[in-house]
Amino acid sequence: MRVDVVTIFPEYLAPLELSLIGRARRDGVLDVRVHDLRAFTHDRHRTVDDSPFGGGAGMVMTPQPWAEALDHVVATGPDGAQAVPHLLVPGPGGVPFTQAMARRLSEEPWLAIACGRYEGIDERVHEHAAERMPVTVVSLGDYVLNGGEVAALAIVEAVGRLLPGVVGNAESLVEESHEGGLLEYPVYTRPAAWDDGGVVREVPAVLLGGDHAAVARWRHEQRLARTAARRPDLLAPAATVAGLDDLDVRVATPADAPELLVLQRACWMPEARVSGSWPIPPLEESLDDVVAGLGEWTTWVARVPAEGGALGRLVASVRGRVRPGDPTVWETGRLVVAPDLQGRGLGRALLAHAESAAPEAVRSFWINTSRVMDANVRRYRRAGYRLVPGEGTYPGTVDLTKPRR
Ligand code: SAM
């Protein structure tokens, strides 16, 4: 990936020579080119700003050096190619910079970042740029910095570390905060008991026991608790999910497990009757198994709204996860809708909701169902899935996949 940064403080970008990003540059994975805006001025004082029309405090960056600098960046593109960079203009009034945006940007071959200073850049530079390349104004957050350089550092680091090979263990990227909609769980290392000047601080016992399912469950509970405490907005009901407007859709917690177990047993009974065969995991699972499943998957539950903040009836659920060992596949499953609400498109909308939560790296969706449940297969086909020929992942089942669009 190539990134061009235009700034009046090229030295500000020096940290991009350090650590993983510095190594990625040396390895040729990331080609960062920093341009001094003042090199595109033509007066003795190398002026880049002037007072604002209409009055007011501060100075505004003049259009001419910016237009020349951006034209210069475009002109240095790959020989003969019509390529242009995606221009990011940092600004507190921009689109919030998120992990999802970082993922999208990491798939682009060429970015440019225009670092403003003072009161910002003359608006006509945006028009000039937009006629030549895609432009996005990007905000680091709801606060005001002195210049765009800190944003450029943040963007290059967040995007650069998603490029293949930059972070040694690609799996560590999957579990992080903001991947999958939740914050990360707390992490610990040796010593297991740390003598903090007389106070012994211990690592949670579950992490030392070697029970992987218990660790996964604990981590999921911690992710939920931490997200609820620090970023409740991330757990807010997905009221805008198409087709689910009347329902309250949330990420499931262990408190939802008893109702989830009842619903899954009710919904899998028809399969037991049609197939006449056992075991069927959703029918065999204990309450502990359901709780453990919440730790290994992101599960959403939909409830009908209730009066006065009370919990409404749990009427539908679905779950999804990145396939262990393959971050390009998003496995979905356990799609259930209460028998009295079936046939209203709820399942379809919930499945689409689970698909939309897949991280950017995901390229295809996967679901598995019983071979005898023709209605399920038809339903998934209507949702765009295609049958994978042959036996499914589990005996008596079929796999269905669809590419991400
Ligand atoms: N007058 C501008 C406004 O109110 O939107 C703020 C200008 S700010 C002092 C100067 C520069 O800092 C901006 O042009 C932008 O490059 C950068 N900047 C400030 N806050 C930022 C933020 N939250 N995210 C990204 N860039 C920011």
Q: What is the pLDDT of residue 333?
A: 95
State whether 52 and 184 are in the same domain: no
State whether 193 and 151 are in the same domain: no
- For residue 202, the domain's CATH number is 1.10.1270.20
Is 6 within a domain?
Answer: yes
80 to each of 75, 134, 246, how far by Cα in Å? Answer: 10, 19, 54
| DSSP-based three-state secondary structure for 35 | strand
Closest C-alpha to ligand 1, atom 1? 119
Long-range CB contacts (within 8 A, 24+) of 311-316:
312/248, 313/338, 314/256, 314/259, 314/260, 314/263, 315/247, 315/263, 315/341, 315/346, 316/247, 316/263, 316/341, 316/346, 316/347, 316/350
Is 241 within a domain?
Answer: no
For residue 309, the enclosing domain spans 248-403
State whether 337 and 305 are in the same domain: yes
Q: Which atom of ligand 1 is nearest to the CA of 121?
A: 14
State whether 218 and 315 are in the same domain: no
Residue 6: CB within 6 Å of ligand 1?
no
State whether 259 and 389 are in the same domain: yes
State whether 191 and 79 are in the same domain: no
Domain boundary among 205, 235, 265: 235
| DSSP-based three-state secondary structure for 15 | helix
State the helix-helix crossing angle for 149-160 and 19-26, rounded to 10 degrees: 70
Spacing, Cα 154 to ligand 1 middle (Å): 14
Is 157 within a domain?
Answer: yes
Q: What is the pLDDT of residue 238?
A: 43
Is 143 within a domain?
Answer: yes
Is 240 within a domain?
Answer: no
Domain boundary among 168, 187, 218: 168
State whether 189 and 231 are in the same domain: yes
Closest C-alpha to ligand 1, atom 6? 119
pTM of this structure: 0.67
Radius of gyration, CA atoms only, the chain: 26
Q: What is the pLDDT of residue 80?
A: 65
How many structural domains does the chain have?
3
Residue 141: CB within 6 Å of ligand 1?
yes
State whether 41 and 183 are in the same domain: no
State whether 163 and 208 are in the same domain: no
Helix (H) or strand (E) segment spanning residue 194: strand 193-196
Q: What is the pLDDT of residue 230?
A: 87
Q: What is the pLDDT of residue 239?
A: 40
Spacing, Cα 283 to ligand 1 middle (Å): 56
Residue 145: CB within 6 Å of ligand 1?
yes
Q: What is the pLDDT of residue 241?
A: 46
Question: Residues 384, 351: contact at Cβ < 8 Å?
Answer: no
Q: Which atom of ligand 1 is nearest to the CA of 140?
A: 24
Spacing, Cα 207 to ligand 1 middle (Å): 43
Spacing, Cα 387 to ligand 1 middle (Å): 50
Is 260 within a domain?
Answer: yes
Cβ of 107: how many Cβ atoms within 10 Å? Answer: 12
Spacing, Cα 140 to ligand 1 middle (Å): 9
Residues contacting residue 82 through CB under 8 Å, at least 6 positions apart: none
State whether 16 and 137 are in the same domain: yes
Spacing, Cα 160 to ligand 1 middle (Å): 22
Mean pLDDT, each 10-residue run in order, the chain (405 residues) = 98 96 96 98 98 96 98 90 92 92 93 97 97 96 97 97 88 71 89 97 95 84 83 61 70 90 93 82 93 91 77 92 91 93 87 90 93 91 94 92 93
